[in-house]
């Protein structure tokens, strides 16, 4: 086995000339698998890394706790454990968690204000990459 010796000066020069492009990470939670696939494809094409997906608020909580993504994209209306459950449990883990709530029903927007970072109606999902990049 041979060792490569790099001086501090060489290392510093390499670091200065190298740009680190770290993708922002997301977890996507929705009971509709087609929405998960569409959001995943959309974000992946905009250089986001999808760490995991789930189908209810309990799964969102477990995914957040184990993966610690930069963002959670979560539906509000889901069976068993809804998005409100997921929001409250994730915020217990990290009060600074960045949660974007989505729903086909805009009546939930007022209920999520102050709990999630942003509410997005599902028919506006194409603007999601722009929103995430602005945060």
Query: Mind giving me the DSSP string for the chain?
Result: --PPP--HHHHHHHHHHPPP-PPPEEEEE-S-HHHHHHHHHHHHHTT-EEEEEESSHHHHHHHHHHH--SEEEEES--SSS-HHHHHHHHHHH-TT--EEEEES-GGGHHHHBTTBSEEEEGGGGGGHHHHHHH-
Q: What is the mean pLDDT of residues 72-93?
A: 96
The model's pTM is 0.81
pLDDT digits (tens, 9 = 90+) for 45-56: 999 999 999 999
Q: What is the mean pLDDT of residues 60-66?
A: 98
Quickly state the pLDDT bin for 21 (edges 50, 70, 90): low
Least confident of 1-5, 17-21, 117-121, 125-129: 1-5
Q: What is the mean pLDDT of residues 99-103?
A: 94
């Amino acid at each position: 086995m041979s060792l490569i010796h790099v001086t501090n000066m060489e290392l510093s020069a390499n670091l200065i000339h190298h740009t680190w492009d770290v993708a922002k990470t997301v977890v996507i939670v929705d009971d509709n698998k087609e929405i998960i696939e569409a959001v995943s494809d959309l974000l992946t094409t905009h250089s986001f890394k999808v760490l995991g997906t789930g189908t209810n608020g309990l799964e969102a909580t477990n995914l957040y706790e184990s993966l610690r993504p930069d963002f959670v994209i979560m539906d509000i209306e889901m069976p068993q454990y809804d998005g409100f459950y997921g929001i409250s449990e994730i915020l217990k883990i990290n009060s600074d968690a960045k949660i974007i709530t989505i729903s086909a029903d805009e009546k939930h927007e007022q209920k999520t204000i102050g709990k999630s970072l942003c509410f997005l109606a599902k028919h506006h999902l194409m603007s999601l990459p722009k929103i995430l990049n602005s945060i």
